[in-house]
């Protein structure tokens, strides 16, 4: 599944590149105002922080929410206390787009994450051109050379990489990379099975000073409390916020966990 998602995302990027060259996208990226400091926004604090996600669908669950106005949803998230906004820009399985990211960037004053299957520089320049402050890098999808070069490029553009891992070996690679924002995803992107306790088993491998993000398997305040007790600084929440009717109330409840 992961390899298919990466291949599809790269193919879609190549289609966009045929319409808008790398040079054009790079110029647009460099013309953007400086990216917001995501590490500061997500720095460990005396309470849990939440990255709230604009998510229409997923491969495992299918359609989740229509979200006709992603900017309005993101603004509600910010009002509700989110520290950053994640925007799915993958179109085939998640129903997202770079237009969603641009709309969200214009609507909020907190950092915005481009969540996609990033595997080539063009996609990184696209992210900055659309206003992203954070770019997701999935360790399982990238060899060491590609992971390193993309991580460097993200930093050179003033953004922050959220380096996502799924097991101890991937976490070792993230640490060797020098990643400062490290996620542990409870969802296995090959089988799509969930393991809420994975974060707790791996967290001790994350060095001091690195911001620790727990991803997936968050449907209730108790799940947020579980991750916080295990040592999470930040929790990324998507499905629960778009399926439970009142995203601000849900976010408020989660932040109080």
Catalytically active residues, by annotation: 53, 55, 115, 164, 185, 215-216
What are the two backbone dihedrals, phi and then psi, of residue 90, each rounded to the nearest 5 degrees? Answer: -75, 130
- Angstrom distance (rounded) from CA 136 to CA 133: 10
- Angstrom distance (rounded) from CA 193 to CA 172: 22
3-state SS class at 49: strand
| Closest by CA position to 163, among listed 138, 190, 133 | 138
What's the count of helices (H) and strands (E) in the chain, helices before strands?
A: 12, 10
- Angstrom distance (rounded) from CA 206 to CA 220: 25
Query: CB-based contacts of 83: which residues, under 8 Å, 6+ apart?
Result: 41, 42, 49, 50, 51, 110, 111, 234
């Amino acid at each position: 599944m992961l390899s298919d998602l990466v291949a599809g995302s790269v193919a879609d990027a190549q289609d966009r590149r045929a319409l808008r060259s790398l040079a054009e996208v790079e110029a647009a990226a460099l013309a953007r105002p400086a990216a917001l400091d995501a590490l500061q926004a997500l720095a460990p604090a005396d309470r849990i922080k939440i990255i709230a996600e604009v998510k229409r669908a997923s491969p495992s669950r299918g359609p989740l929410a229509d979200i006709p106005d992603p900017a309005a949803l993101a603004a509600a998230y910010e009002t509700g206390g989110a520290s950053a906004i994640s925007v799915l820009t993958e179109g085939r399985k998640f129903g997202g787009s770079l237009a969603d990211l641009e709309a969200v960037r214009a609507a909020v004053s907190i950092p915005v994450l481009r969540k996609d299957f990033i595997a080539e520089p063009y996609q990184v320049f696209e992210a900055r051109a659309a206003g992203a402050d954070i770019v997701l890098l999935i360790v399982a999808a990238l060899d060491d050379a590609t992971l390193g070069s993309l991580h460097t490029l993200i930093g050179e553009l003033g953004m922050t990489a959220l380096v996502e891992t799924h097991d101890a070996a991937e976490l070792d690679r993230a640490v060797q990379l020098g990643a400062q924002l490290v996620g542990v995803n409870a969802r296995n992107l090959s089988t799509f099975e969930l393991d809420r306790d994975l974060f707790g088993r791996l967290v001790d491998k994350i060095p001091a000073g690195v911001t620790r993000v727990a991803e997936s398997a968050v449907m209730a305040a108790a799940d947020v409390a579980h991750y916080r007790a295990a040592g999470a600084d930040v929790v990324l929440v998507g499905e629960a916020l778009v399926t439970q009717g009142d995203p601000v109330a849900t976010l408020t409840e989660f932040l109080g966990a």
